[in-house]
Amino acid sequence: MKLCIITNHQDKSHINDSQIHDRLITTLGLTPKDVFDLSDVNSVYHVNNEYTHALILLDYNVTTIVPHKNYFEELNLPKIFIIESIAEHHKTVDVHFSKEILKSPHRNPLGLSVEHQSFLYKEYADAFIFYSNKDIDLFNTYYPNIGEQPLYVIPPSLGEEKDIKVNFDYFSPNKNLGFNAEPSYSNGILEISEALFSTSEYSFNIYGNHGRKPINTQTLLNYITQKNKNIRFKGRVNNNRQFHLENHIYCNTTLYSSFNYSTFTSLLNGTVPLISDLSGEVDFFPSYPFITKLDPLSIRNTLSNISNTPPEQLKDILNSATNNLIELNDNNSKEHYYKFLNSI
């Protein structure tokens, strides 16, 4: 069996996708030469002759289906679509932000329509891989009539098993909160900020790129940073070590996510995750005490629980949480991929 990846992801600045894609290439023993751009239809001949299976990673924030059809019509390999998140659910959240929060006239979100997405799935997908069971449920809700293709859950790997442990070198109890992803409404930036508007106890440092979403995040960033001077947008993280030294708590207050990679890497670097009960990550954190509902009072209470927990007890909690993540290692992930692909 020889695998390749077919993708239309052009935006390497999208932090979560880039982290997961890079890990997938390493996990499966691939190289950048095994990754092909969907827009280069001339590569199909080489792919058909050199590989046995194609893993499909798509960014649906595009305006036309034509390149996808052109490529997939010529691709003679089993096509396994990796569903990184449910695009239509993201749209639902974005429209709510536009109508209910910004009070602006409704605009149709950019990106492939649900009809075009369903067409791709029905016509070309031989199987699907998801990061969580929650996403399978959402997928069946938004795309109910695409066929009987096999569905399988394989979460991203966090690395080699020996490295899945907490590095407490960066553990630094303080009142700084950190975030490292796209600072969008769906990622919960407004929820955590509203919880902080009535207090000056915490500083909230927002890292990431903005402007990728159809609904511009600049409006949101302007609003929250003007409401509280302790909320700051700092751009991209240039030094991971400094990020974890500076921020004691990692804020994952998302309204929807499949697998927020920064939540896991923060934990492994001694930064305490605050996790939304709406996130896909809760499946991997049974009995974790710092999972919160997204109303301001619940968020503030959970922040207080973290701040008031003695450092040595916090370390025990992080170590215990990590024990549940050891299964998310390269060898297990690779084994799951090959077992599933052999069944197709």
- Looking at this protein, which amino acid is placed at residue 91? K
Residue 246 CB-half CA count within 13 A: 17
Residue 315 CB neighbours (<10 A): 16
Task: State pLDDT tens for residues 216-243.
Answer: 677 788 889 999 999 999 988 888 889 9
Please indicate, yes or no, whether residues 141 and 173 belong to a single structural domain of this protein: no
- The residue that leads in pLDDT, 17 or 41, is 41
Q: Which residue from 331, 111, 158 is spatially nearest to 260, judged by alpha carbons?
A: 158
Task: State pLDDT tens for residues 159-200.
Answer: 999 999 999 999 999 999 999 988 888 888 899 999 999 999
Please indicate, yes or no, whether residues 223 and 289 belong to a single structural domain of this protein: yes
pLDDT value at 140 more than 50: yes
Query: In CATH, what number is assigned to the domain containing residue 76?
Result: 3.40.50
Residue 145 CB neighbours (<10 A): 7
Please indicate, yes or no, whether residues 154 and 8 belong to a single structural domain of this protein: yes
Q: Which residue from 280, 153, 260 is spatially nearest to 208, judged by alpha carbons?
A: 260
Q: How far apart are CA 325 and CA 329, in angstroms?
A: 8
Please indicate, yes or no, whether residues 55 and 110 belong to a single structural domain of this protein: yes
Q: Which residues are 274's β-sheet partners?
A: 251
Answer whether 208's CB lies under 8 Å from 180's CB. Answer: yes
pLDDT number for residue 103: 62
Q: How many domains does the chain have?
A: 2
Q: Give the residue numbers spanning the domain of 62.
A: 3-158+328-342
Q: How far apart are CA 26 and CA 294, in angstroms?
A: 35
Answer whether 247's CB lies under 8 Å from 234's CB. Answer: no
Please indicate, yes or no, whether residues 183 and 106 belong to a single structural domain of this protein: no
Q: Which residue from 289, 286, 287 is spatially nearest to 274, judged by alpha carbons?
A: 289
Please indicate, yes or no, whether residues 240 and 290 belong to a single structural domain of this protein: yes
pTM beyond cutoff 0.95: no
Most confident of 8-12, 97-101, 142-146, 260-264: 260-264
| β-pair type (151-153, 127-130) | parallel
Task: Supply the mean pLDDT for the chain.
Answer: 89
Please indicate, yes or no, whether residues 69 and 17 belong to a single structural domain of this protein: yes
Average of per-residue pLDDT across 312-331: 97
Query: In CATH, what number is assigned to the domain containing residue 284?
Result: 3.40.50.2000
pLDDT value at 94 more than 90: no
Please indicate, yes or no, whether residues 58 and 203 belong to a single structural domain of this protein: no
Please indicate, yes or no, whether residues 148 and 177 belong to a single structural domain of this protein: no
Please indicate, yes or no, whether residues 177 and 135 belong to a single structural domain of this protein: no
Residue 212 CB neighbours (<10 A): 15
Answer whether 77's CB lies under 8 Å from 52's CB. Answer: yes
Q: Which of 34-38, 229-233, 236-240, 304-308 has the lowest mean pLDDT?
A: 236-240
Residue 314's contacts (CB-CB under 8 Å, 6 or more residues apart) are 171, 173, 272, 306
Please indicate, yes or no, whether residues 169 and 145 belong to a single structural domain of this protein: no
Task: State pLDDT tens for residues 240-266.
Answer: 889 999 999 999 999 988 899 999 999
Please indicate, yes or no, whether residues 145 and 197 belong to a single structural domain of this protein: no
